[in-house]
Amino acid sequence: MKVTYPAERTVSVWVGTFRSEDDFDRCVDESVSAALGLDTDLADICEVGFEHDPIAVRDLLDGFSGSDTFVESAVSAAAARDLSTANSALVCYYLRCSDAPADWGALRFLGSFSGQDVV
């Protein structure tokens, strides 16, 4: 896997379904942060969303900073993986992951897309 940071106008998106927000946070720390090995704190470049019950991926991603620049691509990628609902999302800005695994613990990597946090 190749990780590029900073990568202009790029977002990377993961979604999953967890029993609790603590389980989601633990997965982000143990599976994503550890694998990326960035010199910067993941919290400085990411936004997270958690709902108690699964909702449509589009609805989960709607409202993230700049979501209108990447939501269509992310939803298409989710559909290609037969993912229609989730209750947790991790969106990292200025981060590109190439040749990345699809599964990161219980999180599913949808991909790195053209997008930005501020339109």
| pLDDT tens digits, 40-68 | 999 999 999 999 999 999 999 999 999 99
pLDDT tens track for 66-109: 999 999 999 999 999 999 999 999 999 999 999 999 999 999 99
Alpha-carbon gap, residue 112 to 95, rounded angstroms = 7
Which element (helix H / strand E) includes 43? none
pTM above 0.75, yes or no: yes
HSE toward the beta carbon, residue 43, CA cutoff 13 A: 2
